[in-house]
Amino acid sequence: MNNLAVDLPGLQLKNPIMPASGCFGFGREYSEFYDLSKLGAIMMKAATGSERFGNATPRVAETASGMLNAIGLQNPGVESIIETEVSYLANYELPIIANIAGSSIEEYEKVAAAFNETDHVHALELNISCPNVKEGGIQFGTDPKMAANVTERVKKASNLPVYVKLSPNVSDIVAMATAVEAAGADGLSMINTLTGMQIHLPSKRPLLANQTGGLSGAAIKPVAIRMIYEVKQQVSIPIIGMGGITTSEDVLEFLLAGASAVAVGTANFQNPFICPELIDALPHTLKKYGFNTVQDAIGKGITV
Amino acid sequence: MNNLAVDLPGLQLKNPIMPASGCFGFGREYSEFYDLSKLGAIMMKAATGSERFGNATPRVAETASGMLNAIGLQNPGVESIIETEVSYLANYELPIIANIAGSSIEEYEKVAAAFNETDHVHALELNISCPNVKEGGIQFGTDPKMAANVTERVKKASNLPVYVKLSPNVSDIVAMATAVEAAGADGLSMINTLTGMQIHLPSKRPLLANQTGGLSGAAIKPVAIRMIYEVKQQVSIPIIGMGGITTSEDVLEFLLAGASAVAVGTANFQNPFICPELIDALPHTLKKYGFNTVQDAIGKGITV
Amino acid sequence: MKKETMRIKSTKRIALDTVEMVLENNYMSQTAVPGQFLHLLVSGHTLRRPISIADVNKTEHTITILFKMLGSGTHDLASYQVGMTIDALGPSGNGFQLHNDNQSTILLIGGGIGVPPLYYLGKTLAQLDMHIISVLGFQTSKSVFYEEKFRALGETYIVTDDGSYGDQGFVTDVLHSVESFDRYYSCGPVPMLQAVTASLKDKPGYISLEERMGCGVGACFACVIPTDDAGGYKKICKDGPVFDAQEVSL
Amino acid sequence: MKKETMRIKSTKRIALDTVEMVLENNYMSQTAVPGQFLHLLVSGHTLRRPISIADVNKTEHTITILFKMLGSGTHDLASYQVGMTIDALGPSGNGFQLHNDNQSTILLIGGGIGVPPLYYLGKTLAQLDMHIISVLGFQTSKSVFYEEKFRALGETYIVTDDGSYGDQGFVTDVLHSVESFDRYYSCGPVPMLQAVTASLKDKPGYISLEERMGCGVGACFACVIPTDDAGGYKKICKDGPVFDAQEVSL
Ligand SMILES: Cc1cc2nc3c(=O)[nH]c(=O)nc-3n(C[C@H](O)[C@H](O)[C@H](O)COP(=O)(O)OP(=O)(O)OC[C@H]3O[C@@H](n4cnc5c(N)ncnc54)[C@H](O)[C@@H]3O)c2cc1C
Ligand SMILES: Cc1cc2nc3c(=O)[nH]c(=O)nc-3n(C[C@H](O)[C@H](O)[C@H](O)COP(=O)(O)OP(=O)(O)OC[C@H]3O[C@@H](n4cnc5c(N)ncnc54)[C@H](O)[C@@H]3O)c2cc1C
Ligand SMILES: Cc1cc2nc3c(=O)[nH]c(=O)nc-3n(C[C@H](O)[C@H](O)[C@H](O)COP(=O)(O)O)c2cc1C
Ligand SMILES: Cc1cc2nc3c(=O)[nH]c(=O)nc-3n(C[C@H](O)[C@H](O)[C@H](O)COP(=O)(O)O)c2cc1C
Ligand code: FES
Ligand code: FES
């Protein structure tokens, strides 16, 4: 038996490592480096109802052990993604998770319904927390009722399992998690980026054209671990963990905190091979710390 | 004229650099390295109504470009602090800011009233946001109404200017800031630490005995800058900024974002001379980016 | 494009805050074309730094880069010593279109740290028997580099912002003194490129652009540049950094 | 205590994952006493690493440290080369009480990476004409270091957890074979110190403790150890790391 395998709603993962949404496009570029079938799954770049250009540039900044991004959900729109990208990814043996976003509940429903029509998408990741969308997306992410509402509506709009992606920019992450669980979420995905800013000294203004951006990378790992640890104890749906993963020890730390699988974002930019390297390193790391399988390690760091 | 000077309620600062609460004890240890009179001010370690031992060890952990701490408000109690520490610090020429904490509003009032009786404390820093106090401190920090309430009561209990120290672990930092401003706060101090966790792989449990701890250091600077930038536009009381400062460029970045002075925490552990070094470097940095005085730079990064 | 380990063969300051580094790697040196860049990992930094390929020596298996020490990443890179290795992605992006019209006259217009990619381009075009004229702008005399190398390719004008070397002014100030030419290639700060493309709008030309990058491979949408007002765009890291001067909206 | 720059004079692996480094600095070498530690800044790390002073050569102006490569900081430190410098705070903390009873018999009990501070202590006590007996415990044969150096000070017992070298077992297993002694000094993992202080509770002794540190100077309250059940405490970085065996609650 494969000791890295994990079964989650809609997702039979041969290993628990997948690229995080927005950090891997739709896989094409990284397929030049390695065979995407090696991945546990792929989380596609956010899809919206129609094409979006996103924010002005600069869109990224470097911070201590992290980065800020304010891409602004640039994407070719759900129809084009299904036609061009999903059909391309369907050539690989890996579950596809479609990250969906929008400025209105109707837009979320539309995107969810569209992905529901394809055979190749295995789950939806509901991005209620993108800090860069000014039109409305952000409120869903910090208000339990609104988050529950969009979750419920998206569940109705499609038959696909729904993983709700939580924002860390909240006072009470457990309240957000339990609200979307009650609303029918099949899983959680956490965390999205922390809202941050950098001021560019020479120009004396925010470096990002969008002013604020989402902080990701190793800097935020302690926040991600804390939130997963807190949420895991209060929900019974599985968690896909992310936030600053760069080593197989980090992967194990997320599993111990309660994640059932993990996504890797920013680290792809440093090392395009990070995902396959983590997959290769994980068996040894599990063994080193006394685990036979990924399944064994999930939540084992929780001491209550 | 001194181009580094800043006047804030209760605080005539000869320069805008001070050590952050909890990272500098009561100054004694650092007085072995340099003359404390060099500092703009000092923020003392949190004082509670009576002596506290704090959390079990380990109390600190290292993270990427940061650290976690869960000291748990260990301190000898306000009376002993006044007798031993304030009287010691009174030998130096620097404004003293007393950081006050408690598990109940009554305890806050008691501590505030006690400091009010001494001649040597110039302002209070109201620590409503210490993430490590389980008994009650934490709720004040994430609920605008409770924060306003404790602010109001502490203002009544003493004549000293009150700087409310805000927690970044909230959905809406502006709501917190405006609530305490309306309740009579003379200034804000932001940010306290982000709640985080690290899991120790060999023992498969949270590394800190307290499980969670406060994340500080360069890792959190983008969050601090963002929050100060947002709050500055909505309040008219001054902000003492902190969170990850390690260079004089960082100091200027905080000023541009809207801080009127800054505090340096974690960086003291790396370099005990960090505060005087920043003070010495600041004039050159101001000049390099076209400012004559600290006062000139405050809020100049805000573009709206 | 591959991820390769490159060995530092030499490193030296050649102008104010400007470092020339020669990096050894077989794959990179054999496949690079003018205008491409390397995406360099500087230890301790989250994001890689894009640096143009300034010269290639296929027999020595080396690539030369020239970079200015601006922020922390380039300062750290400047402290790397001979013998150390650098993790690089590359050769990245699409290079300059060379065309095959030998005997044509080519104008190279470079500003500051936009000059490096033009050197390998100029050298390659000269080998294709084109006539090279170079107009290079720098901030001040101490920032000037590679003047002799460009002169070896053809007529070369140097301007400095403060007039401390060559003529005082901007590269656009000397464009009128240049004899007629067939095509231009330009790289430098955006205001310079705006001025250049505006004053040469009737000439065919190529420009190389800079933008802050995330992935550097086309996956993250950090480095887009609009191509029209209707939402069209290109990715500088993958579709560029070189574009037809009329193709993108600066 | 000062903040000083120390130059690496030598660095070598002396056992499994164990590095011996000789650091040159006048102030540190002239003022250090046995049991004190250096608080070392490893570049790229937020927190300094406390490492014991294992030996001092006042004429050569050097301090020797021995450290085990455990996590990322000690791994990075192990990669430092001769000639590089390290930023150190020190000499930190209070050292071992030496007493002036020459001719007395002293028992040194060290476990693993707790052995280093005992070497400079033993050397110093031997110079004061005390008789030194050492009991040193290691995980396995490959982890053993400084055996000869301790033998040069006096009778030395080595035990290993797996019996691959010396006797199999823990340091406490051999305490009964030790001839009578006047005083003991011990450093090692907490379970070892608990066992040692329990089995030697009638003997005067000193123990050196470890705890995760923030400031390393006594300001942050990271490294406290309770001294009683009534809220009494000491700071390991400032009041320790050496304590009277009866003084603290392990
Ligand atoms: C295709 C391309 C080719 C380039 N070629 C060269 C060259 O040959 N020589 C040279 O000196 N410079 C070149 N640059 C610019 C160079 O990438 C930046 O000067 C460098 O990244 C700044 O890094 P830093 O650590 O000094 O600055 P920091 O301010 O510390 O960098 C912070 C972040 O911003 C990015 N950044 C800052 N300025 C720029 C910029 N102008 N362009 C892109 N990213 C930036 C950095 O890459 C990093 O991600 C090129 C840029 C691009 C896009
Ligand atoms: C007074 C004193 C003297 C010491 N003397 C020696 C010595 O001579 N040789 C030696 O090899 N080790 C010694 N240690 C232990 C040494 O400090 C740790 O092994 C080292 O800090 C681990 O760092 P790391 O980067 O390998 O581990 P990491 O796990 O990456 O360290 C993370 C953080 O935890 C701290 N930490 C981890 N383990 C310990 C520990 N056991 N004690 C204190 N802090 C720890 C680190 O300092 C750092 O802040 C001493 C500790 C103390 C308190
Ligand atoms: C450049 C960039 C773009 C991102 N785009 C998206 C997105 O479209 N949808 C989404 O849900 N998350 C997006 N994220 C967040 C990541 O998926 C991930 O949650 C976050 O970066 C934390 O993981 P990391 O620290 O490993 O990067 C983006 C992150 C980055 C850095
Ligand atoms: C070890 C430690 C102890 C702290 N104790 C206190 C405290 O007692 N009261 C308080 O208001 N903040 C306390 N803080 C928070 C700091 O004052 C500061 O707000 C925070 O660390 C961010 O600044 P920095 O990144 O410069 O450290 C503590 C921080 C650290 C690292
Ligand atoms: S840098 Fe990621 S798309 Fe260009
Ligand atoms: S480490 Fe700060 S008090 Fe000991």
pLDDT tens digits, residue range D33-92? 999 999 999 999 999 999 999 999 999 999 999 999 999 999 999 999 999 999 999 999
Q: What is the mean pLDDT of residues C146-166?
A: 93
User: Any CB–CB contact under 8 A between A202 and chain B?
Assistant: yes
Q: Which ligand neighbours the alpha carbon of D40 most closely?
A: 2
- For A272, the closest of C3, C221, C231 (CB atoms) is C3
Chains in contact with A, where contact requires at least 3 CB pairs less than 8 Å apart? B, C
Q: What is the mean pLDDT of residues A180-192?
A: 97
Rounded Cα–Cα distance for residues B213 and B198 (Å)? 9
Residues 137-156 of chain A whose Cβ lies under 8 A from any Cβ of chain B: 142-143
Pocket of ligand 4 (CB under 6 A): B 20-23, 45-46, 69, 71, 73, 99, 127, 130, 165, 192-193, 216-217, 220, 242-245, 264-267; D 214, 220
The whole-chain average pLDDT of chain C stands at: 94
Q: What is the mean pLDDT of residues C200-226?
A: 94
User: Any CB–CB contact under 8 A between B63 and chain A?
Assistant: yes
For residues A239 and A189, is the Cβ–Cβ distance under 8 A? Answer: yes
For residues C66 and C38, is the Cβ–Cβ distance under 8 A? Answer: no
For residues B74 and B52, is the Cβ–Cβ distance under 8 A? Answer: yes
For chain B, what are the domain ranges?
A: 6-297
Q: What is the mean pLDDT of residues C50-77?
A: 97
Q: What is the mean pLDDT of residues A210-217?
A: 96
Q: CB C225 to CB A71 under 8 A? A: no
> Does residue A136 surpass a pLDDT of 50?
no
- CATH architecture for residues B6-297: Alpha-Beta Barrel (3.20)
The residue with tokens 């040069």 is D152
Nearest-CA distance from A271 to chain C in Å?
Answer: 8
The radius of gyration of chain A from alpha carbons, rounded to an integer in Å, stands at 18
**CA angle, A84 then A87 then A88, to 5°:** 80
Percent over 90 (pLDDT), chain D: 82
Tokens found for residue D233? 């405490």
Q: Which amino acid is at A148?
A: A
> Does residue B199 surpass a pLDDT of 90?
yes
> Does residue A137 surpass a pLDDT of 50?
no
Q: State residue A282's pLDDT score.
A: 97
Q: What is the mean pLDDT of residues A278-290?
A: 97
Query: Residue B232 is inside which H or E element, if any?
Result: helix B221-232
Q: State residue C180's pLDDT score.
A: 87
The residue with tokens 């790697």 is C25
Confidence of residue B1 (pLDDT cuts 50, 70, 90): very low
Query: How are strands ordered across the β-sheet holding D183-187?
Result: D167-168, D156-160, D131-138, D105-111, D183-187, D205-208, D242-244
Condensed to tens digits (0 to 9), the pLDDT of residues B232-274 reads: 999 999 999 999 999 999 999 999 999 999 999 999 999 999 9
Residues 1-30 of chain B whose Cβ lies under 8 A from any Cβ of chain D: 22-25, 28-30
Condensed to tens digits (0 to 9), the pLDDT of residues B116-132 reads: 999 999 999 999 876 55
Q: CB B51 to CB D213 under 8 A? A: no
- Which of residues B144 and D228 earns the better pLDDT score? B144
A275 part of the active site: no
For residues B40 and B192, is the Cβ–Cβ distance under 8 A? Answer: no
Ligand 3 atom closest to the CA of A244, numbered from 1: 25
Condensed to tens digits (0 to 9), the pLDDT of residues A72-119 reads: 999 999 999 999 999 999 999 999 999 999 888 899 999 999 999 999
User: Any CB–CB contact under 8 A between B269 and chain D?
Assistant: yes
Rounded Cα–Cα distance for residues B112 and D162 (Å)? 59
Tokens found for residue B101? 């904490």
Q: What is the mean pLDDT of residues D22-31?
A: 97
Tokens found for residue B30? 């650092």
> Does residue B3 surpass a pLDDT of 80?
yes
Residue to substitute from A226, A246, A296, interface B, most B β-carbons within 10 A: A226
Annotated catalytic residue within A67, A130, A147, A231? A130
Rounded Cα–Cα distance for residues B5 and A55 (Å)? 39
In terms of Cβ atoms closer than 10 Å to its own Cβ (0-12, 13-18, 19+), residue D226 is: middle
The radius of gyration of chain D from alpha carbons, rounded to an integer in Å, stands at 17
In terms of Cβ atoms closer than 10 Å to its own Cβ (0-12, 13-18, 19+), residue C222 is: buried
| Nearest C-alpha neighbor of B75 from the set B142, B132, B136, B155 | B132
Ligand 1 atom closest to the CA of C210, numbered from 1: 53
Backbone angles phi, psi at C183, to 5 degrees: -160, 150
The whole-chain average pLDDT of chain D stands at: 94
Backbone angles phi, psi at A44, to 5 degrees: -75, 160
Residues of A in contact with B229 (CB under 8 A): 197, 199, 206, 211
Q: What is the mean pLDDT of residues A188-217?
A: 97
Q: State residue B104's pLDDT score.
A: 87
Q: State residue A1's pLDDT score.
A: 46
Helices A221-232 + A173-182 axis angle, to 10: 50
> Does residue B138 surpass a pLDDT of 70?
no
For residues D154 and D232, is the Cβ–Cβ distance under 8 A? Answer: no
Percent over 70 (pLDDT), chain A: 96
Rounded Cα–Cα distance for residues B127 and B105 (Å)? 12
Least confident of A27-41, C42-56, C97-111: C97-111
| Nearest C-alpha neighbor of C130 from the set C159, C157, C99, C165 | C99
Condensed to tens digits (0 to 9), the pLDDT of residues B87-107 reads: 999 999 999 999 999 888 899
Q: State residue D178's pLDDT score.
A: 84
> Does residue A135 surpass a pLDDT of 60?
no
**Rounded distance from Cα D57 to ligand 2 centre (Å):** 24
The whole-chain average pLDDT of chain B stands at: 94
pTM: 0.96
Q: What is the mean pLDDT of residues C30-39?
A: 97
Confidence of residue D202 (pLDDT cuts 50, 70, 90): confident
> Does residue B137 surpass a pLDDT of 70?
no
- Which of residues D172 and A251 earns the better pLDDT score? A251
DSSP string of chain D, one letter each residue:
-EEEEEEEEEEEEEETTEEEEEEE-HHHHHH--TT-EEEEE-TT-SS-EEEE--EEETTTTEEEEEEE--SHHHHHHHT--TT-EEEEEEEESB-----S-TT-EEEEEEEGGGSHHHHHHHHHHHHTT-EEEEEEEESSGGG--SHHHHHHHS-EEEEETTSSSSEES-HHHHGGGSPP-SEEEEES-HHHHHHHHHHTTTS-EEEE-----SSSSSSS--SEEESSSSS-EEETTTT-BEEETTTS--
Condensed to tens digits (0 to 9), the pLDDT of residues C114-136 reads: 999 999 999 999 999 999 999 99
ipTM: 0.96
Q: CB A65 to CB C46 under 8 A? A: yes
**Rounded distance from Cα D137 to ligand 2 centre (Å):** 18
Q: What is the mean pLDDT of residues A42-53?
A: 94
Confidence of residue A132 (pLDDT cuts 50, 70, 90): low
The whole-chain average pLDDT of chain A stands at: 94
- All domains of chain D in start order, with CATH: 2-92 (2.40.30.10), 96-201 (3.40.50.80), 209-250 (2.10.240.10)
Q: What is the mean pLDDT of residues C152-169?
A: 92
Percent over 70 (pLDDT), chain B: 96
DSSP string of B7-62, one letter each residue:
EETTEEESSSEEEPTTSSTTSHHHHTTS-GGGSS-EEPPPB-SS-B--PPSP-EEE
Rounded Cα–Cα distance for residues D91 and D4 (Å)? 10
Q: CB B269 to CB D224 under 8 A? A: no
The closest residue, in CA terms, to atom 3 on ligand 6 is: D218
